[in-house]
Amino acid sequence: MTKKPAGGAATGGGGDAGPDGRVFVAVGMALVVGAGMGGLVIRRRRPNRG
C-alpha cells in the first residue's frame, strides 16, 4: 500500500492571484469580432473596379 500526501499543493495562489482569465478571453474575442466587422465595412465601401 502506498502513502498519499494529504492536502493540495501549496502554490501560494488564491483569490488575489491576479486578473481572471475570462477577462483576457473576452477582450480577445472583442478584438477578433471588431477586426472582422471592420474588414467587412472596408470591403463594402471600396469601389468596384473591373
Q: If pLDDT is split at 50, 70 and 90, which confidence band does 37 have?
A: very high
Q: If pLDDT is split at 50, 70 and 90, which confidence band does 1 have?
A: low
For residues 13-40, give the mean pLDDT: 85
Angle at 13 between CA 9 and CA 18, to 5 degrees: 155
Alpha helices in the chain (DSSP H): 21-45
DSSP class of 15 = T
Task: Indicate the pTM of the whole model.
Answer: 0.53
For the chain, the average pLDDT equals: 79
Q: Percentage of residues in the chain with pLDDT exceeding 70?
A: 66
